[in-house]
């Protein structure tokens, strides 16, 4: 394929629910949900280590005592639900150690007394009209490929494949528009009697049907289990830790990342809640047609109520001055930790479903991901676009948000 000098290549990866790090994330968030069920204002910082014979739960909580036996039940149920019911690592036989203790009073005072952030940090949110979910195309398709394959395994449509899997998608961009896949990698755990060629044939239909028509890479650039064998997987193969897949959880490395993980943390931890708000703002700006792409940055200090900085970058795609958008949002949206929590209704047991296939660009039943709502876009349109149309008769172009129309993607 010929690519002009303005072409570039972007890669993102995803991992399935049975990946060791994702097992850890799901366990941490399942425990967070359990504490929130006991008290919506529970504060948690829960880390999980998953290895061959043991699961270790550590961290700090400021919450009612739900008992170690209940926590262990949550851990075992989560492992079983992922699919580790038999084999050397399974929900019944693994040892569970629980080493949680009370949150430091020095941290608690900043949250309880000052109503401020639970820690300092920088958070980013992003949205682009490149896909129907307003997510960067490489991470969108990396997630979608795995979800479709693992869903087919769960439905019994395909057999012999295990819960541990990874994908990696490299897309070619022309003038900032994704046009095709350069290469695709899928590694998936399998039964001993399945060879590499057969596995490739099994998953190929699910990969090609996930991509827009004409995007599939050549067979030589479609890599399935590149070593030739992936029988030993999950925690038997690799240790898993909470928070090690921050790029998978967010935007696939497409934009900067502040470095803070999400799983295991309650909404007072701005690593999580402010990142959700940043995504909400960016998505609503793009949804309102104020911009084709939008990056939002927020920063906080422990114990301080209001953000230290609030920044919007539309990469030159906005027809409205970015400062005016920033000023309007600052006046109309409470960006304090408490304000974010109230606006997005974060004091609910909604976190375990977030722990796999990304925290953004997804809709779940019962509005599990309220930061994906686009209710603010109506207010933004009324403030900027409707006034602009009324005054000048000019309206910014409506940007395509369909992932199946590659010639219009941005």
For the beta carbon of residue 182, count every other beta carbon within 10 angstroms: 18
The average confidence (pLDDT) of the chain is 90
Burial class (CB in 10 A: 0-12, 13-18, 19+), 321: exposed
DSSP string, 214-255: T-PPPGGGEEESTTS---S-GGGTS-EETT--HHHHTTTTSS
pLDDT band at 395 (very low <50, low <70, confident <90, very high): low
Percentage of residues in the chain having pLDDT higher than 90: 82
Place of tokens 């930061």: 371
Those residues with Cβ within 8 angstroms of residue 33's Cβ, 6 or more apart along the chain or in another chain: 349, 350, 351, 352
- The pLDDT value recorded for residue 112 is 66
Q: Is there a common fold for 7-15+136-237 and 121-127+269-400?
A: yes
**First CA to last CA distance, the chain:** 20
Displacement of CA 352 from its chain's centroid (Å): 12
- The pLDDT value recorded for residue 101 is 94
CATH topology for the 7-15+136-237 domain: GMP Synthetase; Chain A, domain 3 (3.30.300)
Q: How distant, in Å, are the alpha carbons of 241, 333, 371 from that of 27?
A: 10, 32, 22
Would you kindly state where each structural domain of the chain is located, as residue ranges? 7-15+136-237, 20-112, 121-127+269-400
Radius of gyration of the chain (CA): 22
pLDDT band at 362 (very low <50, low <70, confident <90, very high): confident
Place of tokens 């219009």: 408
Per-residue burial over 392-405, b if 16 or more Cβ lie within 10 Å, else e, is eeeebeebbbebee
Per-residue burial over 26-61, b if 16 or more Cβ lie within 10 Å, else e, is bbbbbbbbbbbeeeeebbbbbbbbbbeeebbbbbbb
Q: CA-to-CA distance for 113 and 132, rounded, in angstroms? A: 42
H or E stretch covering 44: strand 43-50
For the beta carbon of residue 173, count every other beta carbon within 10 angstroms: 20
Q: Is the per-residue pLDDT at 5 higher than 80?
A: no
Nearest to 77 by CA among 62, 55, 46: 55
Displacement of CA 23 from its chain's centroid (Å): 15
| Torsion angle, alpha carbons of 402, 403, 406, 410, to 10 | 80
β-strands 177-190, 222-224 pairing: parallel
Count of alpha carbons within 13 angstroms of residue 310, beta-carbon side: 22
For residues 170-183, average pLDDT: 94
pLDDT tens readout for residues 211-264: 999 999 999 999 999 999 999 999 999 999 999 999 999 999 999 999 999 999
CATH topology for the 121-127+269-400 domain: GMP Synthetase; Chain A, domain 3 (3.30.300)
pLDDT tens readout for residues 146-173: 999 999 999 999 999 999 999 999 999 9
- The pLDDT value recorded for residue 409 is 32
pLDDT tens readout for residues 310-361: 999 999 999 899 999 999 999 999 999 999 999 999 999 999 999 999 999 9
Q: Is the dihedral of CA 220, 221, 224, 225 positive or negative?
A: positive
Q: Is the per-residue pLDDT at 392 higher than 80?
A: no
- The pLDDT value recorded for residue 104 is 79
Tokens standing for 104? 């430091």
Q: Is the per-residue pLDDT at 3 higher than 80?
A: no
- The pLDDT value recorded for residue 105 is 78
Find out if CATH 3.30.300.10 is the number for domain 20-112.
yes
């Amino acid at each position: 394929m010929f690519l002009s000098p303005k072409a570039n290549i972007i890669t993102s990866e995803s991992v399935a629910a049975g990946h060791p790090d994702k097992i850890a994330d799901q366990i941490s968030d399942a425990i967070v949900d359990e504490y929130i069920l006991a008290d919506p204002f529970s504060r948690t910082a829960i880390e999980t280590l998953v290895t061959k014979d043991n699961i270790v739960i550590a961290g700090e909580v400021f919450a009612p005592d739900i008992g170690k036996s209940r926590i262990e039940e949550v851990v075992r149920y989560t492992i079983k639900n992922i699919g580790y019911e038999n084999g050397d690592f399974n929900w019944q036989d693994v040892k569970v150690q629980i080493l949680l203790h009370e949150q430091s009073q020095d941290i608690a005072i900043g949250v309880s007394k000052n109503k401020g952030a639970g820690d300092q940090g920088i958070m980013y949110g992003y949205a682009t009209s490149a896909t129907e979910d307003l997510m960067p195309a490489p991470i969108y398709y990396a997630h979608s490929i795995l979800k479709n394959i693992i869903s087919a395994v769960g439905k019994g449509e395909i057999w012999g494949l295990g819960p541990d899997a990874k994908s990696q998608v490299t897309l070619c961009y022309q003038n900032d528009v994704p046009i095709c896949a350069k290469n695709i990698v899928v590694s998936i755990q399998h039964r001993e009697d399945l060879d590499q060629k057969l596995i490739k044939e099994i998953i190929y239909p699910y990969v090609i049907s996930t991509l827009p028509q004409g995007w599939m890479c050549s067979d030589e650039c479609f890599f399935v289990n590149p070593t030739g064998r992936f029988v030993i997987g999950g925690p038997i193969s690799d240790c898993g830790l909470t928070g090690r897949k921050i790029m998978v959880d967010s935007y696939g490395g497409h934009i900067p990342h502040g470095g803070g993980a999400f799983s295991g943390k309650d909404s007072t931890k701005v690593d999580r809640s402010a990142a959700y708000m940043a995504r909400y703002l960016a998505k609503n700006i793009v949804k309102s047609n104020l911009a084709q792409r939008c990056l939002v940055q927020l920063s906080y200090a422990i114990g301080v109520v209001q953000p230290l900085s609030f920044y919007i970058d539309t990469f030159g795609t906005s027809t409205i001055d970015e400062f005016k958008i920033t000023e309007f949002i600052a006046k109309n949206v409470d960006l304090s930790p408490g304000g974010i929590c109230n606006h997005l209704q974060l004091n609910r047991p909604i976190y375990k479903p977030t722990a796999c296939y990304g925290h953004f660009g997804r809709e779940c039943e019962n509005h599990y991901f309220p930061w994906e709502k686009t209710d603010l876009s109506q207010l933004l349109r009324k403030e900027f676009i409707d006034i602009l149309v009324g005054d000048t008769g000019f309206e910014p172009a409506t940007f395509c948000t369909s992932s199946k129309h590659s010639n219009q993607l941005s």
